[in-house]
Amino acid sequence: MKYFSKPAITLSIAVAVATLSTTPLAVAQSQAPIKVGFMLPATGTFASLGNMIENGFKLYVNEQGGKLGGREIQYFKVDDESDPAKATDNVNKLIKRDQVDVLVGTVHSGVALAMAKVARETNTLLIVPNAGADVITGAMCAKNIFRTSFSNWQPAYAMGKVAAERGHKKAMTITWNYAAGTESVKGFAEAFEKGGGKVTQSLTLPFPNVEYQALLTEIASQKPDAVYAFFAGGGAVKFVKDYVAAGLNKTIPLYGPGFLTDGTLEAQGAAAQGMITTLHYADNLNTPRDNTFRLNFAKAYKTNADVYAVQGYDAAQLLASGLKAVNGDIGKRDQLVQAMRSTTVDSPRGKFTLSPAHNPIQDIYLREVKGNNNEVKGVAMKALADPARGCKQL
Amino acid sequence: MDISTFLVQCLNSIQYGLLLFLVASGLTLIFGIMGVINLAHGSFYMIGAYLAFSIAPFFGNHFIAMLLAGVALSALFGFFLEWIFFSYLYQRDHLQQVLMTYALILVFEELRSILVGNDVHGVKAPDWLSGGVSLGGIMTYPIYNLFASAACIVVAIGLYLVVNRTRLGMMIRAGASNRDMVRGLGINIRLLYRIVFAAGVALAALAGMIAAPMASVYPGMGGHVLIVCFVVVVIGGIGSISGALIASLLVGFVDTFGKVFFAQLSGIGIYVLMAIILIWRPEGLRSKGY
């Protein structure tokens, strides 16, 4: 017994017992699927966007053989109807009724705000795959809230810089009167006025109203040098068409964040040709990573990937990086969050890291519409980080 | 705002108001004459828009023919809908009508989702209506919008003539003022109701078809228009077609100019208008009462 001290024996017995007792538990755990709750729009003007996000997410999971961190993934779905009034009820359905491990959603900023609020209160892990509301990774930032898309400020700020550089002095803005719209317009004005321009008037209409004619008349009578518009989905289709139908595109260039022309080009047709927008993704990046992704996406869903698909795909990648670090044990929240926080996401848009407030630090591309594509023309701003105003927690 | 901008904005207001009138006139007919609170009326507007999206490819440049075919189809649809569902609703109270017609909204939305999906669609205006005319040197005004206004005016005049100059119209007006008297005079009230209902559905669907190339066709479009139409009907006075016309134009003006001058408050403009008018005239502008 010379070589084995008493404590060493006790320790080894303890280790053996611990291994024996935890092994079956670990096996059981790896068999129970991780519950992912999708809260996305399935109806209304954003329906197709929600569909792309979900498909993107599932594509990555399927590429990993249906498992993340060694565990099966089980999906739960709620249609958020892009209605902030129903958001709290809907998110509680996923958290309380389905008891999901992680929430993924959504498109509409107002709905996402309500989700973030509930996620903070219940400490549920939340990954936002689109909604750009600045406060989600600003004043409302939290350890358990992540975003794989953008803040409204990001593409808008980049566009403001570009518009000023193009020599425009007087601009008007137009958007829906809701969080995403007003924040986007503010971001544009910030950079545009820093570059020496001036936003003379900000037009708004209620979401999801598409009666633009009166506001277009106002633009026509004011004759600004440029117009910055924030719309998405069906509203974006109609706005761009109406703008051209009113003949305004001939004299007043129309700018916007990429949502104005993303996922909407087929419906916009000739009206959108030549339009300049800024976004964290473009159609012909032509990197090996993006090409593989687009090919796989097209094979799986018989349609071309867009920015929404990329954001959903990256939401799954981000979750995977966290689950990998804890071997699928989603209960180890601190380690999981730490791993997600410090990962570099190998996104089809180009690699990105997360800011301390959990928002992507990413390149914003300058794009031009050619045919059915938003072709990249260059990088408007490199590695642009959201200022995360008001974020105290992180 | 200079004078020519003002005039173009007036044109915008009238165009929006007239379109509202098409939807609201059907609603006020059904509401005023049969006493049915029909929440599903906005769905008929949506059905019209999706109908246009579905049948437009078969008609190409024969846009008027498409509108007529759509009106015939939707009137037929309304005729059977009244037969199967609404004819059982007249003797029920308003709460039951609201529940039933709300259920119909859900059914129609679900059917739409199954049949055409949840995507947003655009409908192309025919070649002879595309393009624009220059108005006052300010902007190019889409010809289609002018056509839409003209079409609405034609329908409004037709409606006026039917309601005020025909025997059917006389019965409709009598029905709006005093239902029991009409029944007492031995008029086939069931058939009258069925015709009025079919006409109401066709008017809403026609509005949807006309709106389709101007507004995008999207799920849930009926809900938005329904609320505005109830505002129109309440302002105009229940059961009054001329009241609905005046109210539609008022709402069109308030909404349009509100958007331009009070952008942040544009969502509430028409409700403020409604409140003011109801304080002044609790029964609406042209109430016939019943």
Q: What is the pLDDT of residues A168-178, one digit of tens each?
A: 999 999 999 88
Interchain contact, B263 vs A217, CB within 8 Å: no
B122 close contact with A: CB closer than 8 A: yes
Phi, psi of A354 (to 5 degrees): -105, 145
Nearest CA in chain B to A222: B1
* Burial class of residue A392 in the structure, from the number of CB atoms within 10 Å of its CB (0-12 exposed, 13-18 middle, 19+ buried): exposed
- Pick the closest to residue A222 from B9, B229, B239, B28 (CA basis): B9
B10 close contact with A: CB closer than 8 A: no
Interchain contact, A221 vs B140, CB within 8 Å: no
The confidence band for B2, taking pLDDT boundaries of 50, 70 and 90, is: confident
Using the predicted structure, report yes or no on whether residue A43 has a pLDDT greater than 70. yes
Nearest CA in chain A to B216: A238
- Give every CB contact of residue A379 below 8 A, 6+ residues apart in sequence: A363, A364, A365, A366
B266 close contact with A: CB closer than 8 A: yes
Interchain contact, B219 vs A246, CB within 8 Å: no
**Which CATH code of 3.40.50.2000, 3.20.20.70, 3.30.70.890, 3.40.50.2300 fits the domain covering A153-279?**
3.40.50.2300
Least confident of A55-59, B120-124, B223-227: B120-124
Task: Give A42's contacts in chain B (Cβ within 8 Å).
Answer: 118
Interchain contact, B215 vs A241, CB within 8 Å: no
Nearest CA in chain A to B212: A238
pLDDT tens for B146-167 read 999 999 999 999 999 998 899 9
Using the predicted structure, report yes or no on whether residue A2 has a pLDDT greater than 50. no
A123 close contact with B: CB closer than 8 A: no
pLDDT tens for A214-231 read 999 999 999 999 999 999
Interchain contact, A47 vs B119, CB within 8 Å: yes
**Which CATH code of 1.10.3470, 1.10.10, 2.40.10, 3.30.410 fits the domain covering B3-280?**
1.10.3470
B120 close contact with A: CB closer than 8 A: yes
Mean pLDDT score across all residues of chain B: 89
From the CA of A370, how many Å to the nearest CA of chain B?
20
From the CA of A238, how many Å to the nearest CA of chain B?
6
Interchain contact, A44 vs B220, CB within 8 Å: yes
Distance CA B283, CA B75 (A): 30
Q: Which two tokens stand for residue B52?
A: 């246009």
Maximum pairwise Cα distance, chain B: 60
B139 close contact with A: CB closer than 8 A: yes
Q: Give the HSE-up count for residue A44: Cα atoms under 13 Å, Cβ half-sphere.
A: 18
Task: Give B5's contacts in chain A (Cβ within 8 Å).
Answer: 217-218, 220-221
From the CA of A76, how many Å to the nearest CA of chain B?
20
B260 close contact with A: CB closer than 8 A: yes
The confidence band for A31, taking pLDDT boundaries of 50, 70 and 90, is: low
Distance CA B37, CA B230 (A): 10
Q: What percent of chain B has pLDDT over 90?
A: 55
pLDDT score of A12: 56
From the CA of B171, how many Å to the nearest CA of chain A?
37
Ranges for all domains in chain A classified under CATH 3.40.50.2300: 34-150+285-361, 153-279
Distance CA B109, CA B101 (A): 12
Using the predicted structure, report yes or no on whether residue B8 has a pLDDT greater than 60. yes
pLDDT score of B280: 93
pLDDT tens for B257-276 read 988 888 777 778 899 999 99
- Pick the closest to residue B29 from B150, B148, B159, B157 (CA basis): B159
Provide the CATH number for the domain formed by A34-150+285-361 in this structure: 3.40.50.2300
Q: Where are the domains of chain B?
A: 3-280
Residue B148 amino acid letter: A
From the CA of A256, how many Å to the nearest CA of chain B?
20
> Could you say which of A216, A217, A237 has the minimum Cβ distance to residue B120?
A237
Q: What percent of chain B has pLDDT over 70?
A: 98
From the CA of A394, how many Å to the nearest CA of chain B?
34
Phi, psi of A68 (to 5 degrees): -120, 130
- Pick the closest to residue A156 from A253, A276, A281, A278 (CA basis): A278
Using the predicted structure, report yes or no on whether residue B101 has a pLDDT greater than 60. yes
Interchain contact, B263 vs A205, CB within 8 Å: yes
A199 close contact with B: CB closer than 8 A: no
A77 close contact with B: CB closer than 8 A: no
Which one of A77, A201, A213 would you mutate to disrupt binding with B, by most B Cβ within 10 Å of its Cβ? A213
From the CA of A328, how many Å to the nearest CA of chain B?
36
How many contacts (CB atoms, under 8 Å) link A and B?
A: 114
From the CA of B157, how many Å to the nearest CA of chain A?
25
**What's chain A look like in SS3?**
CCCCCHHHHHHHHHHHHHHHHHHHHHHHHHHCCEEEEEEECCCCCCHHHHHHHHHHHHHHHHHCCCEECCEEEEEEEEECCCCHHHHHHHHHHHHHHCCCCEEECCCCHHHHHHHHHHHHHHCCEEEECCCCCHHHHCCCCCCCEEECCCCCHHHHHHHHHHHHHCCCCEEEEEEECCHHHHHHHHHHHHHHHHCCCEEEEEEEECCCCCCCHHHHHHHHHHCCCEEEEECCHHHHHHHHHHHHHCCHHHCCCEEEEHHHCCCCHHHHHHHHCCCEEEECCCCCCCCHHHHHHHHHHHHHHCCCCCHHHHHHHHHHHHHHHHHHHCCCCCCCHHHHHHHHHHCEECCCCCCEEECCCCCEEEEEEEEEEECCEEEEEEEEEEEECCCCCCCCCC
Interchain contact, A245 vs B255, CB within 8 Å: no
A10 close contact with B: CB closer than 8 A: no
Interchain contact, B142 vs A202, CB within 8 Å: no
Vertex B154 angle, CA B150 and B155, to 5°: 120
A102 close contact with B: CB closer than 8 A: no
Distance CA A118, CA A121 (A): 5
Q: Which two tokens stand for residue A193?
A: 């006025």
Average pLDDT (B212-217) is 84
